[in-house]
Each structure stands twice: as structure tokens, then as C-alpha cells.
A and B are shown apart, each in its own frame.
Chain A
Amino acid sequence: MKKLNYPFQKEDILDLSVGDMVLISGKLFTGRDAVHKRIHEGTKPPVDLKNQIIYHCGPVILEKKGKYEVKAAGPTTSIREEPYQWEVMRDYGIVGVIGKGGMGPKTLQGCKDYGCVYLHAIGGAAQVLAEKIKSVDNVYWRDLGSPEAIWELTVEDFPCVVTMDAHGNSLHEKVEGESGNALKGLL
């Protein structure tokens, strides 16, 4: 089990490889479809994303007396951000992406070119992951709707598995290739 602590450093990211189980502590920014589309269309993000991690997540957050309460916060499918993710790495210097389901060749190349890593959270594990969120510190772009807004979160020991590293390796590519070959033999 490896640890990744805030502020995130490039060296720590380069140190990670596919298959590593990692516990993340520090700051995360949620960002999913609408956020990526808006950034892609030319709007600058409302926060400095340099050396930050983006979490593909549309949480259930209730507001009670001006305080935010996280009810559920698991990852959403990442592949939908495949057209945009590498640009956010290039233009805004993020060092990590958390999501589920993995991403494609553009993102893998982006990870290699700009020193970034893809961390797979456990899909559907909204309660385990919500418990790791210690505070909701801010919210941006609320106009996109609650699940699509950018939520600034502080997490502790947030569990992930590295499935795409900064050295061009993808667990998804590997499993897809191997299972494809296995299938041929089983049909």
C-alpha cells in the first residue's frame, strides 16, 4: 500500500506504477462531463489546477444550515472525458485523475507527456469513499447543477488503484487484450 499526500509532487506521481494500491490524503476537485466540456470550449477553470487531482464524481451533497453534507461520493465513468482530459493535463498541469472504468490512448499519452497518473476508485462504493471525505471546502460552477459542479474536497486515506501510469502503461489495455484473446478460445 502506497501513500500520496498533499501537496502532490511530480516525483511522487512518477514513482507510481500500474497495479499500485494507493491511499490519497489532501485536496481533490470534482469535475465531470460539463466541467470538462466548458474548459474545452475555452473557459478558464475557477481554481488553479496546477499539481492538483481531478476526481470524476457527481456527489450527492445536501446543504443543511449553510453546511455541506456528503451523502454519497463514488467515481463516475471516466471514458466520457477521453476527448478533453489530455488538454487539461497540458494546459492546467493536473497530476492525477481519479475515476472508474479507465481511459483511452489520448489520456494515456497525456499521462506520459505531462507526468500524470490515472487512479481507479471502486465504482459504486459511494459510502466507503464518502467516509474518506473529511470536509467540503468550496464549490464552483454551481450553475452546472449539483452533480456537475466543481466541489473542493479534503480527503484522508482515499483508496485507489493505479491503472494508468506516467510511463505509458495501462492495466485496462492489458486486461482488454488478454480477455479478448481468452474469449477467442472460449467461443
Chain B
Amino acid sequence: MPAKKKAIKKKATKKKVAKKATKKKVAKKKVAKKKVAKKKVAKKAAKKKVAKKATKKKATKKTTKKKVAKKVVKLNTDAELFDSILELIKITSTVIPDDVQKVILESLAREEKNTTAEYAMNIIKSNIEIAKRKIQPLCQDTGTIIFYVDVPKGYIQSDFVKICHKAVVKATKLGYLRQNSVDTLTGKNETMNIGPGHPSIHFHEHNKETIDIRLMLKGGGCENVGAQYAMPYNALEAGRDLKGVRKVILDAVQKAQGKGCGPGVLGVCIGGDRGSGYINSKEQLFRKLDDENKVSELRDLEKDIVETANKLGIGPMGFGGKTTLLGCKIGTLNRLPASYYVSVSYMCWAYRRQGVTLDKSLKIKKWLY
């Protein structure tokens, strides 16, 4: 919201509060007058009653005052939250995170000169620069809008959802997001990214007083090349162990070719059920590219997958070349004895994820990537 509008809104609320206050003053005077009149009639019993009424009225006045005060605070924090979410969407859609940019530039340097691979990576590089400079979406498919929100104990989630929806609509009107939500049965795309499942918001309670919001914009092209394997996967003789897991992850990379706008990053979950596995695979994509997996077997596997995938020769956009993957992040969930899933989510090079920590007034305090 522009500063001017906000100021006008604040003024308007102040005026309203002021009006209410004058009304109350008038009411007070009336009560006082009544008191005097009744005193003149001078019956003890009546006096007592009036006194009681007066105290009652005083009490109610106090609570209404408090309510008004609370409402004003809430209006202000609502506006701050709206601004913070809108800013988060804007930056996520238009600026590539530093850790991703670093890896993209490294891979550009690695490609052979005067090849289509180098050509593609150079265009990607200038695309990143232009999007940031013009504050316009890196990719026109602004993707599924996925929020992960860490909230303090007792936080009312429906409050967040309401403001979040408003911010998404505004971001769509401003062109940071494309009108991207289609009614599956009618094929109509009429809402501003609001509808069943859109945006996708995941809440998590944490032991801090602050709110952390992470956002990922995941395009359809890369989502379409995601894959889930129920192990054992006989076509590759892949069993229920990390050797088998390695086989199916590499198979997913080979099948994806350049269709997911490579070079990409994999988020992988081993275990879970079909639903939780895919969700966890996306959560892996919130990890920084340069972080290290705490589980040593997984750390080795992540490294191995990237190195091996880059020997496949698929290259940027599937043109052939040295960089097929920019990274791979693997996590696990427990599974049933009968199930062993490997869920692979593919993220395109236009890796749009950001996050913020909000301060108590719900302004952005810190960027997370």
C-alpha cells in the first residue's frame, strides 16, 4: 500500500476513535446530570441504585475503550503484515537468491565457449539481471504459490490466511504474479490466484515469538517432470536401499531431460506416504544450496547425484552440455513396513524462493536467503 493511502487510512481511524470519544464524553455529562436530578429527589435506596448503575456503566466504558484500542492495533498490524507479504512476493518473483545465482554463474563458466549450452546460460544470466533491475517476474509462469509459515504459540492462522489472500490478489494486479489459477473442471481462470488449494499455505508452530514466512513459486514445467517411485522399482532393478534410491533419482533426471527448464535442483524425500513424501521433497528445496546434510550417507548421495547427473550430457535446456543439475537435497521420513517411496521434485533454474522473519509489529526484520 502506498504511504499516502496508509496515512489517510490511519487518519480516518483516528477520527473515528475521536468521534467515539466525544460521544462518550457527552454520555458522561448526561449521566452526571441525571445523578444530580435524582439526588434532588433524595431517596437513599434510589441513590444506591444510581451508584450501582454508574459503576456498571463505567466498567463497560472501560472495556469498550480497550476493544477500540485493540482494533486500532490490529488494523495497523494487518496493514504491516499485508505490506510484508506483498514485499516477499515481489522479491521472490523477481530476484534470484544469492546461493542460487552463485551456482548458476559457476556453471556458466564451466560450459564450453560458442556452444548452445553457453548461449543458454548467458541468456539465463542476463534474464536474472533484467528481472532484478526492472522488478519484473523472472519467469512468466509465476507458479504454484507455496507458503511455509512458522508461527508462535497461540497465533490465529485464519488471520494470516485472510491477509495473505489480499496480498496475493494485489501482487497479481501489480504483475508480480500471473493470473495462474484455473478451475479444473470449467477451465476458467478468473480469480486472482485464489481458489481451492491456491495459494498453498503450510503452518508450523515454533518456540519463537516471531513469525517466519518462506515462499516458493514453483512453475508448472518443472512440476510436471517430478516423479515418485514405489520401491523396489523393477525396471531398473532398484531395491529398497540407497543404491536403489540413487538409481531412481538418476532415472528421474534422465527422463526430465531439459523439460523442467534445466539446469535444475532436485528436492528428494525417501520414505513417507505418497502425499507426505512429495510435500517433504519440496521442503528440501527450502534448504540453501551450499548447506551440508547432517546425515553423512545423504550428504554423500547428494554430492554423487549432482556429479553423476552432470556426466549425462543433457545440459542447459536439454541442448547437451556439462551442467544438468545445480544441486540435490535429500531428506527422509519414516515409512510403513510395506511402503518405500522415493519422491523427486524438480526445481527449474529460475529457483524462486525467499523468506522473511517479521518483527513484533509484523514488519520485515530479516531476509532468510
Q: Which A residues are within 8 Å of any B CB, using their own CB?
A: 19, 21, 34, 57-60, 62, 71-74, 76-77, 79, 100-102, 120, 122-128, 130-131, 145-148, 159, 161, 163, 171-172, 174-176, 178-180, 182-183, 186-187
Contacts and interface: CB of A to CB of B under 8 A. Distances in A.
Interface stretch (B208-216, B307-315, B330-338): B307-315
Contact of B319 (A57, A148, A175): A175
Interface size class, chain B: 35 or more
B164 to A, nearest CB: 21
A126 B93 CA distance: 12
Contacts of A74: 139-141
A147 B219 contact: no
B141 A76 contact: yes
A148 B187 CA distance: 11
A71 B130 CA distance: 11
Given A122-B120, A124-B127, A127-B130, A71 B187 contact: no
B268 interface: no
Contacts of B182: 145
B257 interface: yes
B105 to A, nearest CB: 16
B123 A125 contact: yes
Nearest to B315: A175
Contacts, number: 159
Interface string B165-191: 000000000010011101000011110
A19 B116 contact: yes
B130 to A, nearest CB: 4
Nearest to B243: A187
Given A145-B179, A161-B120, A186-B250, 15 more contacts: A19-B116, A60-B140, A71-B140, A77-B259, A100-B317, A120-B319, A124-B127, A125-B127, A126-B137, A127-B130, A127-B131, A130-B136, A145-B182, A182-B313, A183-B312
A178 B236 CA distance: 18
Contacts of B131: 126-127
B124 A124 contact: yes
Contacts of A127: 127, 130-131, 134, 136-138
A172 B140 contact: no
B318 interface: yes
B119 A161 contact: yes
